[in-house]
Amino acid sequence: MAEDGAAQLPPQRSQMLPPGWIAEVVTYLEMLTPPPPRPDTAGGLALRRMPADVAEYRRIFRLVGEPWLWASQLRRSDAELGAVLSSDAVETYTLYAGADGIGLLQLDFRSAGACELAFFGVVAEAIGIGAGRHLMNRAIERAWSRAPRISRFWVHTCTNDHPDALAFYVRSGFVPYARGIECYPDPRLDGLMPKQAAPQIPIV
């Protein structure tokens, strides 16, 4: 701490990334008690536990995450991803509208006393129709169903996510507590995603 009580900050600077890399600002949020229930008006939706099926998981992960360049799970080997999906401490769900999978929810209880909202989202066509609120209400219910074994529910989002993601998490009861920077190779340049994915994020 500085003498006046203010935190010492690193010197202000900018730094160019190597070609083919992406940077994003990450905001970390947490929920320490369950919030009051929020209205849920979406009808015709059903949340179903996903079996430990790597191919099906990747399919839904792509449907939901490709517009925002979600790539972390695509870089995992089948064995690594299968171990996560098979863990008793990880719950993975698909949100259905009729026979169509339109959303992904993954809750990770592997850290003692906490649940991470590891992956959460709906396909682009389902944004704005109440599917996200329906899915979040189920996420909060499932996470806090393990209380008192957990006392913290947390998530992180980034500037490459949906523009309303951060505000949505805050409206849902999460409180920002930290910020960071994440850099990673552009998945459109190493074959993980088509080059036309996420056109709002330029390829540099």
Answer yes or no: is 14 within a domain. Answer: no
Answer yes or no: is 1 within a domain. Answer: no
Answer yes or no: is 197 within a domain. Answer: no
Q: Does residue 14 carry a pLDDT above 90?
A: no
- For 66, the domain range is 23-33+49-185
Over residues 163-203, the pLDDT tens digits come to: 999 999 999 999 999 999 999 999 999 999 999 999 999 99
Answer yes or no: is 74 within a domain. Answer: yes
- Residue that wins the pLDDT comparison between 79 and 7: 79
Over residues 87-97, the pLDDT tens digits come to: 999 999 999 99
Answer yes or no: is 101 within a domain. Answer: yes
Q: Are strands 114-122 and 152-158 parallel, antiparallel or unpaired?
A: parallel
- % of the chain at pLDDT higher than 70: 95
Question: How many domains would you assign to the chain?
Answer: 1
Model confidence band, residue 12 (pLDDT cutoffs 50, 70, 90)? confident
CA distance 30 to 152: 7
**Average pLDDT rounded to a whole number, residues 54-71:** 97
Answer yes or no: is 190 within a domain. Answer: no
User: Would you state the pLDDT for residue 3?
Assistant: 42
Q: Is-contact 30 174, C-beta < 8 A? A: yes
Model confidence band, residue 62 (pLDDT cutoffs 50, 70, 90)? very high
Q: What is the pTM of this model?
A: 0.92
Query: For residue 117, which phi and psi values (nearest 5 degrees)?
Result: -80, 85
Answer yes or no: is 165 within a domain. Answer: yes
Q: Domain holding 82: CATH number? A: 3.40.630.30
User: What is the rounded average pLDDT for all residues in the chain?
Assistant: 94
Answer yes or no: is 87 within a domain. Answer: yes
User: Would you state the pLDDT for residue 8?
Assistant: 64
Query: Amino acid identity, residue 32?
Result: L
Question: CA-based diameter of the chain, in Å?
Answer: 62
